[in-house]
Structure 1
Amino acid sequence: MTDQRLIAVEEHLTTPAFLQRAHALDCYPGDRTEVRLTRAVESEDPTRSQLLDLDARLAVMDACGQDMALLSLNPPGVQPYGPADAVPLARDVNDALARIVRDHPGRFGGLATVAPQAPDEAAAEIERAKHTLGLHGIMINSHTDGHYLDEPRFAPLLQAAQAHRVPLYLHPRVPSMLAPYAAHGLSGAVWGYAAEAGLHAMRLVMSGTLDRYPDLSIVLGHLGEGIPFHLSRIDNRYAFARRVSGAATPTARLELTPGEYFRRNFTFTTSGIDDPHVLELALRTVGDDRIMFAVDAPYEETAEAVRFLAAAPLSDTQRANISHRTAERVFGL
């Protein structure tokens, strides 16, 4: 096999300027617990250095045989802050990210940061990020002050993403309904992150949002945030609900089944899920042309993720699609 280019698409960074400015800001009251944790992580080594030091990251990539990384601002990005702070902060982060991409051609690409709390400004930044800065998509860290992208207020953002063919990476964060998750440490990656991102994806499907934006491209990490496991039942129960009347009837009469939206609008990444059985399920659910390699650096080990993909029982076509072809198509690399 010679088609071995390896691109990872969920790789986080930060900048000294972002840390200095963002760590001095107040945030939405509901985000204070998450922001305190994020600031602690961003302030302590080794994670701080891993988020900042791109030369060290390139050395790890070279040692592991990873050709390229799509970089994105460490979550939850600018979403915990009011629009007056978040909008200029996002622009400055994107300017810095574009410089990094230009300085490392072929090694780094970028997913832009936008402020959904200012939807019109976010729409303008999506256009600027693609056409002026040359970035490859946007990252949305799930809810913004408890609000989700299927709500009408976010129409300008979704319209811009579809019109400019900018993929939207829907990344997890601490759930908006925090209390049930907090008691036993369930709010983070151990459970709450996947529950939150999966909920957001399901809202986009079940609300009919993807009927209004049929060409919207959405990326979900962690091999679909648990949705492949549930998808046959989701389709089954949606079909049942359409046959009955009353409170169980879905609020939106969808043009497709839920599963068809996941196979049309969504692409999954392997970030943080180095499990061949889960990969097999995702392959059966959406196919190898809708799965991309990702590490989730620096929170997961690059070497381990690369070894997983190399050892996975895949055909040459499946391996090439997952390792680079799907990412090249989805993100226009």
Structure 2
Amino acid sequence: MKVVAVEEHLSTEAFLRVAHGLAVAAGDETEVGLMRRVETLPALRTRLTDLDLRLRDMDALGQDVAVLSLNPPGVQPYPGPDAVPLAVQFNDALAAIVRRRPDRFGGLATVAPQDPSAAAAEIERAVGPLGLHGVMINSHTGGRYLDEPGFAPLLASAEANRAPIYLHPRAPGSSEGYRDHGLSGAIWGYQAEAGLHAMRLILSGTLDRFPELTVVLGHLGEGIPYWLRRIDNRHAFAARTAGAATPMPRLSLTPSEYFRRNFVITTSGIDDPDVVELALRTVGEDRIMFAIDTPYEDPAAALTFLRDTPLTEDQRSAISHRTAERVFGIGQGVSSKPDEQRGQGDSAGPADAPDPVDGTRLPP
């Protein structure tokens, strides 16, 4: 079984040295402080930065490809003049990694939505000259969401360049109700925030303006598949009610039709056969991709789940690699060599070629 995992985080020592010295936007201090502590822990820092170790782990588990993305929340908490060049530098480093081992790695660019025009240009560069496979955006930026008109250049570039946007969770930006009991993080706040962002894109009419846009959601849809029937029902009711509390744009489709047309979901962090069964009934296997969420989830448990959960072989094939190959345009050249041959040198250059941004060694 070919295995492509599509939410696999990394960083570089060069990025961390710069990012940990930057000022942080008001409201993002707690989240960034927590992530900086995580990135300083030796074991997690190694798992984020050591790609030789990553390849050894992938080989041991039988994982063919990792689609790499910058550790969240990326560059979004930083001032635009700092975030824009930092994104460019990181994308250069990521592209070098992918060029070095295209049989083992794909890449999702990072951008700075703080400057939508610069983000639009960077998306075009990333999926064009750099050869990356999409973009990851960590939900809100300074409490602002992609349905707002100011972000139209970014969405237009993603649509025009056929760059899927992986809408990754981050801590909610403003609600006091999330501040206590650990609720702002992965226990609840992350999925609630990403689900809110996705629903804003749907209900705002944004996907009528950008009908070819592809948005990827982790955690098997951030809860939305569970609610889709009620969302359709209540949206229709609200649209019929002249006294609706909040004015709503007129939509061309039902909310569930946008979800099935424009969204693809991944298994990251949800190793639950019952939820997968619901997702299959909701969107079908051709809109579900396998993801681990390295280094925050257990890769061995995720791979065991992929292999053992009750699926037809066609469903397993779609989830394990086929959907990712189609959505991100990767995996067609995935190595079919025996496991013992993986990780050996290839023709991309000398095994000790330096990373042009970080100065560290790329994996052989």
- What's the TM-score once normalised by structure 1's chain length? 0.98
Q: Quote how far apart the aligned CAs of 1:32 are.
A: 0.5
State the Cα deviation string for residues 251-307 of structure 1 (Å, max 9, x = none): 111100000001000000000000000001111111100000000000001110000
Alignment length (residue pairs): 330
Give the equivalent residue in structure 2 for 1:198: 195
Q: Quote how far apart the aligned CAs of 1:229 are.
A: 0.9
Higher helix share: 1
Q: Quote how far apart the aligned CAs of 1:180 are.
A: 1.1
Q: Quote how far apart the aligned CAs of 1:249 are.
A: 6.0
Give the equivalent residue in structure 1 for 2:115: 118
The reply to whether residue 321 of structure 1 matches residue 318 of structure 2 is yes
The answer on whether the counterparts of 2:120 and 2:158 sit within 8 Å (CA) in structure 1 is: yes
Q: What CA distance in whole angstroms lies between the structure 1 residues aligned with 2:322 and 2:105?
A: 16
The answer on whether the counterparts of 1:72 and 1:113 sit within 8 Å (CA) in structure 2 is: yes
In structure 2, what residue type is equivalent to 1:226?
A: G
SS in structure 1 of the partner of residue 135 of structure 2: strand
Q: What CA distance in whole angstroms lies between the structure 2 residues aligned with 1:179 and 1:86?
A: 27
Q: Which has the larger radius of gyration?
A: 2
Which stretches of structure 1, 4 residues or longer, exceed 2 Å deviation after superposition? 247-250
Segments of 5+ residues of structure 2 without an aligned counterpart are 331-364
The answer on whether the counterparts of 1:117 and 1:144 sit within 8 Å (CA) in structure 2 is: yes
In structure 1, what residue type is equivalent to 2:63?
A: Q
The answer on whether the counterparts of 2:6 and 2:67 sit within 8 Å (CA) in structure 1 is: yes
Give the equivalent residue in structure 1 for 2:4: 7
In structure 1, what residue type is equivalent to 2:178?
A: Y
The reply to whether residue 108 of structure 1 matches residue 105 of structure 2 is yes
Q: How does 1:101-250 map to 2 (within 5 A)?
A: 101-248=98-245, 250=247
The answer on whether the counterparts of 1:242 and 1:249 sit within 8 Å (CA) in structure 2 is: no
Q: What CA distance in whole angstroms lies between the structure 2 residues aligned with 1:164 and 1:250?
A: 32
The reply to whether residue 71 of structure 1 matches residue 68 of structure 2 is yes
The answer on whether the counterparts of 2:239 and 2:248 sit within 8 Å (CA) in structure 1 is: no
Give the equivalent residue in structure 1 for 2:271: 274
Q: What CA distance in whole angstroms lies between the structure 1 residues aligned with 2:120 and 2:253?
A: 27
The answer on whether the counterparts of 1:271 and 1:294 sit within 8 Å (CA) in structure 2 is: yes
Give the equivalent residue in structure 2 for 1:36: 33
State the Cα deviation string for residues 27-74 of structure 1 (Å, max 9, x = none): 101100101001000001211110011111111111111000000000
The answer on whether the counterparts of 2:98 and 2:107 sit within 8 Å (CA) in structure 1 is: yes
Q: What CA distance in whole angstroms lies between the structure 1 residues aligned with 2:232 and 2:195?
A: 15
Q: Quote how far apart the aligned CAs of 1:316 are.
A: 1.0
In structure 2, what residue type is equivalent to 1:303?
A: A
Q: Quote how far apart the aligned CAs of 1:105 are.
A: 2.0
Q: What CA distance in whole angstroms lies between the structure 2 residues aligned with 1:246 and 1:140?
A: 35
Segments of 5+ residues of structure 1 without an aligned counterpart are none
The answer on whether the counterparts of 1:178 and 1:187 sit within 8 Å (CA) in structure 2 is: no
Q: What CA distance in whole angstroms lies between the structure 2 residues aligned with 1:65 and 1:153?
A: 43
Q: In angstroms, what is the RMSD of aligned CA positions?
A: 0.8
In structure 2, what residue type is equivalent to 1:275?
A: D
SS in structure 2 of the partner of residue 189 of structure 1: coil
Q: What CA distance in whole angstroms lies between the structure 2 residues aligned with 1:154 and 1:87?
A: 15
In structure 2, what residue type is equivalent to 1:312?
A: T
Q: What CA distance in whole angstroms lies between the structure 1 residues aligned with 2:212 and 2:309?
A: 31
Q: Quote how far apart the aligned CAs of 1:6 are.
A: 0.4
Q: Quote how far apart the aligned CAs of 1:122 are.
A: 0.3
Q: How does 1:69-108 map to 2 (within 5 A)?
A: 69-108=66-105
The answer on whether the counterparts of 1:8 and 1:70 sit within 8 Å (CA) in structure 2 is: yes
Q: What CA distance in whole angstroms lies between the structure 1 residues aligned with 2:186 and 2:125?
A: 32
Q: What CA distance in whole angstroms lies between the structure 2 residues aligned with 1:249 and 1:140?
A: 27
Give the equivalent residue in structure 2 for 1:298: 295
The answer on whether the counterparts of 1:220 and 1:269 sit within 8 Å (CA) in structure 2 is: yes
Q: Quote how far apart the aligned CAs of 1:246 are.
A: 1.4
The answer on whether the counterparts of 1:139 and 1:168 sit within 8 Å (CA) in structure 2 is: yes
State the Cα deviation string for residues 112-165 of structure 1 (Å, max 9, x = none): 000000000000000000111000000000000000000000000000000010
Q: Quote how far apart the aligned CAs of 1:248 are.
A: 3.8
Q: What CA distance in whole angstroms lies between the structure 2 residues aligned with 1:170 and 1:180?
A: 23
Q: What CA distance in whole angstroms lies between the structure 1 residues aligned with 2:179 and 2:131?
A: 39
The answer on whether the counterparts of 1:14 and 1:73 sit within 8 Å (CA) in structure 2 is: yes
Q: What CA distance in whole angstroms lies between the structure 2 residues aligned with 1:147 and 1:192?
A: 16
Percent identity (aligned): 68
Q: 2:19 aligns with which of 10, 17, 22?
A: 22
